[in-house]
Chains A and B, each alone.
Chain A
Amino acid sequence: MVPAAELRSYYDRPVIKAPVWTWEIPWYFFVGGLAGASAVLAAGARIAGQGRLARSARLAAGAATVVSPALLVADLGRPARFHHMLRVFKPTSPMSMGTWVLTTFGPAAVGSAALAELRWLPGLQRVAEGVAAALGPGMATYTAVLFADTAVPVWHEARRDLPAVFAGSAAASAGALAAITTPPRHAGPARRLTLLGSALELGAAEVMRHRLGDLGEPYEQGDAGRFARASRLLTAAGGMLVALAGRRGRLPAAVGGTLVLAGSVCQRWAVYRAGFASAADPRYVVGQQRARLRARAGAPG
């Protein structure tokens, strides 16, 4: 990256526009990830014969799914036109793909939870559960592609790593919520998922920042930096607590699980805010492009 002193810009003004999205988006990324990973956990627990855990996860997926579209619609400039998303199926648009994933996943996850609670139509319930589980990973990761497919340097240049960060964060949050809502003796898989998810989230975020190099600076400064540090701390502490003390009682599971959930929320906020900082500063946009041009010209540096 070009040092600030050498870099030229137009009165230091941004070259690209920062997103116009508001708080609903990072919250949706969290809630949608939670829903997706919970749906996978529900199916996994059911296959493993862990009915109590499956129920917790199913309910979590259903509840999170109900919140998701509300957040998305609220963020639109014209909320009453949300259904315009449904007039096209557009593979070049991650948001269009996400819309269709959510449109299919939503009824499946909610239906699966409702039918299971009501003990109606067990055949259909299983189909719904299967559909939700199949789309769960998509729910947890498409949002990373959505961010990565923008001109925002800190998002686009993290395109290889962002999905793993979100997948880890989603897995950790689903495990944590299930560990909170399930009696400890049934919650072993949830605790293990919390630990695995937290490890994936922390590891992938580390790799991402490392590979971003100078472009990753927003993760160390300002709002994004605070969220990133909080996320690391909360996820690590909560993950350890759930894994080590979660089986001893509901209190440690609840405390640890809450920390992990908070860490997952902070992770999305860190990524979200870092994007704004990255878009606002022409140093990142121009610097990265100049570096690319130099690399293409084969010049050293």
Chain B
Amino acid sequence: MPDLSIEIAGIKLRNPVLLASGTAGYGEDIARYCDLNRVGAIITKGIALKPTPGNPPPRICETPAGMLNAIGLPNVGVDTFIKENIPFLKKFDTRVIVNIFGATVDEYGEVAGSFTGVEGVHGLEVNISCPNIKEGGIAFGTDLEATRRVVRTVRRSTTLPVIIKLSPNVTDIIPFAMVCKDEGADAISMINTLLGMSIDTETWKPRLANITGGLSGPAIKPVAVRMVWQVYNAVDIPIIGMGGITTTGDAVEFFLAGTSAVAVGTANFLNPNVSIEIIDGLGRYLEERGIDSIRGLIGAVKI
């Protein structure tokens, strides 16, 4: 059996296939369909200091080979999450990476700090790239100085591994990855959704109440692969890759471009067990080619 294990940001993963934030909730609902003991890690739906209700409907619409969402980060708040959701996740033999966001730089620091000493949390993924909330989110992820301040603050607020989730909605993503490295982030994850819009030609209205939303799914995969490859070649920081991964082949593409792990997002909506199928598929892919470790694929694209 080829070795699928990998260590990223100091977190030892059984295999490099993760569940992407916002597509597996806090674990409860997907656990009925997907054996969480088998995934590399679950990245939970974004958590902030205080509960937030999310955006009005319609929140989602389908687009060619993808979907737009403007969910607006509904969340139960950090206290409830630690009290009620972490205990459930602790029952599984997997890694838990908590995705966090805030409206201000200080709030990012405060949320990050809340997880100090919380058993069952193995790392933090910091969302500086959500396109659907007015404050915070993308405003940080598309401004180099704001990115620097958030990463610095979070880094000072926690001893947990820190993964920064980058926005693809920038002309050049490399400087953002560099800032993350400079400020002591342990890894980056990329990409979050691409800002998009869709209009109903009968009603002439936007198909999302929020007007714009984040594009995800197979449609964005080439953009994600390109960005991963650019960062892999320019910045020495481990990458968790995501964006449209739906099959084993998609995951392989990300490894070849330079990711150390991948996360499955929108594809969970088509088949909540797809991450397990990809894990098995990766094992077979390596075996068939006589490659003994997943590390043999990382950045191995032949140019």
Is B a genuine binding partner of A?
no
* Residues of A participating in the B interface, judged by any CB pair closer than 8 Å: none
